[in-house]
A = this chain, B = another copy of it.
Amino acid sequence: MKKDRIRCESLRGKMMDPAEAAAHIQDGTNLFISGFTAGYPKMIPQQLAERARAGERFKINLYAGASTGDCVDGILARAGVVAWRRPYMSDRVMRERINRGEIAFKDDHLSRLSAQVRAGDWGRVDVAVVEAVAVTEKGHLVPSTSVGNTPTYVKMADKIIIEMSNAEPPGLEGIHDIFIPEDPPYRMPIPIYRTSDRIGKPYIEMDPSRVVAVVSHEEQDRCAVFPEPDDTSRRIAELILDFVRHEIQRERLPPGLPWQSGVGGVANAVLTGFMDDDFYHDLDIYSEVLQDAVLDLIDMGKVRAASGSAMTLSERGRARFHKELYRYREKVVLRPVEISNAPEVIRRLGVLAINTAIEVDIYGQVNSTHVMGSQLMNGIGGSGDFERNGAVSFIVTPSTAKDGKISSIVPMVSHVDHSEHSVDVVVTEQGLVDTRPLAPRQVAEAVIEKCAHPDYRDLLWDYYRRAVRERGGHEPHLLGEAFAFHERFMATGDMKEEAAESRRPIADSS
Interface size on A, residues (CB 8 A): 84
Assuming the contacts A380-B421, A416-B365, asked whether A99 and B473 have C-beta atoms less than 8 A apart, the reply is: yes
Assuming the contacts A258-B185, A477-B373, A482-B483, asked whether A472 and B101 have C-beta atoms less than 8 A apart, the reply is: yes
* Least CB distance, A141 to chain B, in whole angstroms: 27
The residue in chain B whose Cβ has the minimal distance to the Cβ of A438 is: B106
Is B472 touching A479 in the complex (CB atoms < 8 A)?
no
Is B193 touching A188 in the complex (CB atoms < 8 A)?
yes
Assuming the contacts A119-B253, A349-B185, asked whether A480 and B479 have C-beta atoms less than 8 A apart, the reply is: no
B84, B417, B477: the one within 8 Å of A414 (CB): B477
* Least CB distance, A249 to chain B, in whole angstroms: 13
A234 at the interface (CB under 8 A from B): no
A227 at the interface (CB under 8 A from B): no
Contact with B along A425-446 (1 / 0, CB 8 A): 0000000000011111110000
Which B residues are CB-close (under 8 A) to A194?
A: 186
Is B486 touching A479 in the complex (CB atoms < 8 A)?
yes
Q: Which of A47-55, A216-224, A384-392 contacts B (4 or more CB under 8 A)?
A: A384-392
B251, B370, B419, B477: the one within 8 Å of A475 (CB): B370
* Least CB distance, A340 to chain B, in whole angstroms: 15
Contact with B along A396-433 (1 / 0, CB 8 A): 00000000000000000011111111100000000000
B191, B414, B474, B483: the one within 8 Å of A375 (CB): B474
* Least CB distance, A268 to chain B, in whole angstroms: 24
Give chain A interface residues in 239-276, CB to chain B under 8 Å.
251-258
Is A421 touching B107 in the complex (CB atoms < 8 A)?
yes
Interface centre among A100, A370, A487 (most CB of B within 10 A): A370
The residue in chain B whose Cβ has the minimal distance to the Cβ of A86 is: B439
* Least CB distance, A310 to chain B, in whole angstroms: 21
The residue in chain B whose Cβ has the minimal distance to the Cβ of A443 is: B106
A32 at the interface (CB under 8 A from B): no
Which B residues are CB-close (under 8 A) to A384?
A: 388, 419, 421-422
A206 at the interface (CB under 8 A from B): no
Assuming the contacts A184-B349, A188-B193, asked whether A119 and B474 have C-beta atoms less than 8 A apart, the reply is: no
A2 at the interface (CB under 8 A from B): no
* Least CB distance, A109 to chain B, in whole angstroms: 6
* Least CB distance, A174 to chain B, in whole angstroms: 26
Contact with B along A461-488 (1 / 0, CB 8 A): 0000001100111111101101100110
How far is it, in angstroms, between the C-alpha of A490 and the C-alpha of B479 when the chains are bound? 10
Contact with B along A329-349 (1 / 0, CB 8 A): 000000000000001100111
A116 at the interface (CB under 8 A from B): yes
Which B residues are CB-close (under 8 A) to A472?
A: 99-101, 374-375
How far is it, in angstroms, between the C-alpha of A255 and the C-alpha of B414 when the chains are bound? 39
How far is it, in angstroms, between the C-alpha of A225 and the C-alpha of B373 when the chains are bound? 41
* Least CB distance, A154 to chain B, in whole angstroms: 21
Which B residues are CB-close (under 8 A) to A350?
A: 183-185, 187
Pick the 10 closest A-B CB pairs, nearest first.
A184-B350, A374-B473, A376-B474, A416-B416, A104-B439, A189-B189, A479-B483, A344-B344, A375-B473, A373-B477
Q: List 10 A-B contacts (CB under 8 A).
A: A100-B472, A101-B468, A101-B472, A107-B421, A119-B252, A186-B256, A344-B344, A344-B348, A374-B474, A374-B475
